[in-house]
Amino acid sequence: MATREFLILPQRRPGPLVIVIMDGIGYREDVEGNAFRLGYTPHFDWLWNNCPRTLLKAHGTAVGLPSDKDMGNSEVGHNAIGAGRVYAQGARLVNEAIDSGRLFRGKGWRYVVDFCKEHNGALHFIGLFSDGNVHSHIDHLKKMIEYAAKTEGIRKIRIHILLDGRDVGETSALDYVIPFEEFLKKIRAETGADCRIASGGGRMVITMDRYEANWKMVELGWKTHVAGEGRRFRSAQEAIETYRKEIPGVIDQDIPPFVIADEKGEPVGPIRDGDGVIFFNFRGDRAIEISRAFEEENFTAFERVPRPKVAFAGMMEYDGDLHIPKTYLVEPPHISDTMGELLCRRGIRQMAIAETQKFGHVTYFWNGNRSGKFDEKLETYTEIPSDIVPFEQRPWMKAAEVTDRLLEGIRSGSYDLIRVNYANGDMVGHTGILQAAVIAGETVDLCLGRIIPAIEETRGILIVTADHGNLEEMFERDKKTGQIVRDEQGRPKAKTAHTLNPVPFIIYDPAGKEKIKFNPRVKTPSLTNIAATCFQLLGLEPPEIYDPPLLIFEDKGN
């Protein structure tokens, strides 16, 4: 590859290469609403001002998403870092499958739809109800409903909506619900199909737990969607408006569950024997547990009452090794030869560490959507259990405990490469609470202050980067003017979604004998360039299949 013809490899350092992923901390110059810049971050500032650094793209086509209007996210970001090149990601794969008709010809779709027809059952859709394009997209849902009603002749369709307020505006639910009701009205008029919203609730309250952090969320989702148990309303709009009046300041992700009832007060859409169920999220982490609840025979997380006999499918295969779910609509990207896999082949000892909220990202997603290790002897995966409390109440989360274990790993001499994720920036950023977000950023900086001496002591190398932005942009901005959006009292409107900002990339190499420069031939550096760069810093030739490395090494005497 032309970009590598003049590269030399550095001398291998005695200590480990440590990659710090500051999850959800992008780079933005503007201070207003920038929780990271507003905080006291002396250690990051020192690294930024004194070490080789650049900015990386972490969104859009650079990481495999459909367009440059699409925000990055933790799943895609860790996929991109671990894979070392661009792969088409969930939303893009689903778009292609729907537009080509491949989804509707596939075994997964046919299994669910044919089961409904055979048993004269209803077709249920459950998933995140927005166009955030991080976990799902409402357009995918609408196209499937339309095809089911118009082409397949399904007569009864029920939708169970999980309100977002995280990847989109924090109180934007009605912006989706009201037009969607008009869409369903049109489908009913054109086809005679009985299409209705049946239940719902906030994504951080029901159904969408991840990493087995809180199975109670999934159990509550089961009671709401399947059993039709819960507070009843005549419409989703009524439910949302009522909860907003009763719980001042509540945002969409935290809205309690609701069940839609008919004029007799009976739920319009509990899931029954003979029904089909499609979970339409394409991202896996928050889809695995509800999929297990529908599919597993020996399931012990909670008692499934009732447990109807249904045909279940996910939008994608959420776990390729454990094959969850067994049936899915769209094939996932097949990511082979990831950084972790190829480094194992070279005998490189690796450690991955994070708290529960991001543990799957430094393992499963980093490894190309693959569970388990490539080599039991060479790899150590360490999970620090997360607290089950609202993140704004403890914005420091488990960063100190993660750092304790990280420092043990650095000083042990047992690892050549260590990857660590600090979840604070993303998880606290999603709350929309600026004060908590500032503390979250300062917490990560405190941890950097503990890591730097360990790198110096062991003569290792430190990379500081992120997977996407969030914390650096806590206020909504008008898309046309760029001005901060304010409420009637003049207060900035909180932003809870990810951003389109680049992320920092810093290298601290206290023991290095070479002068580090950034490769001018890498015109648009992105997360996919990190893997080849790590090979460089380990003194290894980067794989030709990877996007080129970011660095050039020169003798300091030149």
User: Closest Cα partner for 402 from 18, 126, 9, 106?
Assistant: 18
Q: Does domain 91-330 have CATH number 3.40.1450.10?
A: yes
**Active-site annotation holds for 74:** yes
Q: Distance between CA 317 and CA 328 in Å, rounded?
A: 6
Give the other-Cβ count within 10 Å of 235's Cβ. Answer: 15
Binding annotation:
23, 74, 135, 166-167, 203, 210, 283-286, 358, 426, 430, 467-468, 498
User: Tell me, what's the pLDDT at 318?
Assistant: 83
User: Closest Cα partner for 444 from 23, 19, 16?
Assistant: 23
Residue 229 has pLDDT above 80, yes or no: yes
Which tens digit of pLDDT belongs to each residue from 196-220?
999 999 999 999 998 788 999 999 9
Burial zone of 514 (CB within 10 Å; 0-12 exposed, 13-18 middle, 19+ buried):
middle
Residue 512 has pLDDT above 90, yes or no: no
Give the pLDDT band of residue 284 (cuts 50, 70, 90). confident
Give the pLDDT band of residue 105 (cuts 50, 70, 90). very high
CB 494 within 8 A of CB 252: no
Binding annotation for substrate:
135, 166-167, 203, 210, 283-286, 358
Which tens digit of pLDDT belongs to each residue from 118-143?
999 999 999 999 999 989 999 999 99
Which tens digit of pLDDT belongs to each residue from 416-425?
999 999 999 9
Give the other-Cβ count within 10 Å of 111's Cβ. Answer: 18
Binding annotation for Mn(2+):
23, 74, 426, 430, 467-468, 498
User: Tell me, what's the pLDDT at 7?
Assistant: 47
Q: Which of 74, 130, 136, 199 is catalytic?
A: 74
Q: CA torsion sign, 11 to 555 to 513 to 6?
A: negative
Which tens digit of pLDDT belongs to each residue from 487-497?
888 999 999 88
Q: In what order do the strands lie in the sheet with 350-355?
A: 53-56, 503-508, 461-465, 17-22, 417-422, 350-355, 379-384
List the chain domain ranges.
Answer: 17-89+334-555, 91-330
User: Closest Cα partner for 412 from 456, 367, 368, 458?
Assistant: 458
User: Tell me, what's the pLDDT at 557?
Assistant: 56
Which tens digit of pLDDT belongs to each residue from 148-168?
999 999 999 999 999 999 999
Give the pLDDT band of residue 556 (cuts 50, 70, 90). low
Task: Read off the pTM.
Answer: 0.76
Q: Residues 101, 102, 107, 112: what is their CA dihedral angle, to the nearest 10 degrees?
A: -40
**Buried-state track 33-57, b at ≥16 Cβ within 10 A, e below 16:** bbbbbbbebebbeebeeeebbbebb
What is the mean predicted confidence (pLDDT) over 471-482? 91
Which tens digit of pLDDT belongs to each residue from 82-93?
999 999 888 889
Give the pLDDT band of residue 320 (cuts 50, 70, 90). low
For 17-89+334-555, give the CATH class: alpha beta
